[in-house]
Structure 1
Amino acid sequence: MTQHAEATVTAAEGHRADPAVTFAELYGSEPDGIWAAPGRVNLIGEYTDFNEGFVLPLALPHTAVAAVARRDDGLLRLHSTDVPGGVVVLRVDALAPHSGHGWAAYPAGVVWALREAGHPVTGADIALTSTVPTGAGLSSSAALEVVTALALNDLFELGLSAAELAVTGRRAENDFVGVPCGIMDQMASACCTEGHALHLDTRDLSLRQVPFDPAAQGLTLLVVDTRVTHALGDGAYAERRAGCEEGARLLGIPMLRDLPYAGLDAALATLAGAGADASVIRYVRHVVGDNHRVEQIIALLDAGDVRAAGPVLTEGHLSLRDDLRVSCPELDLVVETANAAGALGARMTGGGFGGSAVVLVETAAAGAVARAVSEAFAAAGHAAPGVFDAVPSAGAGRLR
């Protein structure tokens, strides 16, 4: 890890209180166990998951940690050290979608989703803390969902697989919270392994762990958090999803996943001839192109040519900026500055409208690139970005 990145990782992760101590202080007893689930950063494949396409995320060392005890009286008590306020007390049999609860809607939604699926979850005391930056496009909400699902799966002996836990988390976010996300974030948090990126087919949830160790090749994958927050529930995400579905309908295919890259130009001509909205045409071009870029980068990783992935990352950013139009000035500044300072490639990652970018860079040049980005932000009058190394880390698991 480079010196500059080590310092910023420490700042980004911050101090985490012992969750067992916090639990005891809150609830007057010891937890039954402690579990962790990571945030993720997506190397390539954006807005493809709800089109049943391909993604390539990796888990971060930043995690949501939950100290949990089972209850059998129907009460659900929730607390987060990261959010002002006390313990949120709910009844599991009164949980209903779109009923508010703020941050607590994410773990509460998991309880609701498990019960809706017929699992006998009768309550819990949960104390949560997280080092996953919120609003940074690094899946802080998915980490909360997955760690809650994993803990309840163990405590109530539900026997669910990691993929089933991820599906539970997605249902909580889609149907309970009301955010129309795809499955990538939860699958990455639940299923990633250390030293790998996760090649996920979001149609059938088949996956492959692709070896990804930038440090072994003298490379660093930086995450640059612009500290510009976004809210995917504001309609922009849903509008793009609807546009993609319209594109598939006009092309007579189930999903954009079913359009091969070789047929993209002809499909775009068909859409134009059918009078499709210009935004629909742009969305189709992005999704099919990003599915192809996932395949390109996997081929490069398999060949051991990680450096050649850099230009593909930048190409992906241009597509997100120009076709999907989900970037913002701060993200564009990261990409342009990093590449001008010698990075191999860079792109925004996550839902966009703020959040983070990934930068692939020679480790020897990582400090200079990080400084160039920070100086560019200062010159533009932006708040200082957070910069840390994206070390491919393990997925969710029980700590004790």
Structure 2
Amino acid sequence: MAQPHAVVVGAGVGGLAAAVALARTGCAVTVFEKAPVLDPVAAGLALAPNALRALDALDAGEEVRKRSAPHGIAAIRSRSGRWLLRTGPHETQVRFGDAVSVLRYADLVDVLLQRLPPGALRTGSAVTAVEPGTTRQPARVATEPGDVAADLVVLADGARSALRGELFLEHPGAVYAGFACWRAVVPWRPEDPIDFGETWGKGGTAGVLPLSGDEVYCYVTGNVPAGERAADERAEAVSRVEDWHEPLADLFAAARPEAVVRTDVWHVDTPLPAYHKGRVALVGDTAHAMTPNLAQGACQAIEDAVVLAHHASGSMAYVPTAVQSYTASRLPRTAAMVQRSAQLAEAVQNDSPVLTGLRDTAAGLVGKVAPWQLARYTRPVDDWRPPGAPRTADR
């Protein structure tokens, strides 16, 4: 009997995780990536306990933890530096079995690439069209060298996927969330103390997160038109936090100019009717791009990969049924998360002095009077476990 073949379109976190997960079920996998080389953005990534459990299912969790720095589930300040909410790594570990792991995006990509079968990744290979296939017919992807048949196709080509639009013609696609994010990995001397966490200001947020070694991950958001660019993005990032508490402006000023990456934020605000069509499954941002406010974009993509492989682990003859089960498992959870993240984005990107003051007061009261409410808010997100894992499986 021929080995089943899965084609993955896109070599970001979701695509690589899906390829690793499917290879572990016995599939031959081919990953098509249109970029000529994999050159991961120089940015950081926060992986919550739910993502670490998913990575454990791929035998990648321990390696990720080794390359990471621990962080709490939430640490939030006002622009003056006053703490509003603060949950440390130890408390997060106790509640959820793991602290949040912060690592370089490139490190996570490297961990996943190490677990990919040799020869599976094909860079410089754009997929221009997809035929979803049927119960009796395989799916097909169109590439420049020719068409490739597959028992299963996984679309992981990002928030603004053109291939998604071909499959769901009536869907409006991703929409601009109204703000951009500037990110940088910045040199830092460990002997210089820094309070890690996020700061809420007027019309944006900023954050400093720990990384292993002598660097930290910094980001700032701002309300700007889509597609707008500054002559000097480092100077633009510095200007957005120059009157906020120290050392935000100094940290961005210490970044190399070319290290500051600006990204417009897009999200799939209207849920797709399904995360599959025929023998095609959508994962990660292609299925449910969300704003970064819950820090769950990559986490949900890794969850998707594990759940998809779980449902597709039987005979490939039943892939159309398996991807239906995948949709049923993933769509309610991720659609709710997209909306929750968008609501949080609306609150933290607000530029009204009155409303931002009320927001900070409310967050401060929760932090002082009822910090347990934070755990209740995040538990449905962070307490997820892979299919078949016991509920008592906290580390």
Per the shorter chain, which TM-score range?
Answer: under 0.3
**TM-score normalised according to structure 2 size:** 0.25
TM-score (norm. length: structure 1): 0.25
Richer in helix (by share) = 1
Pick the structure with more strand per residue. 2
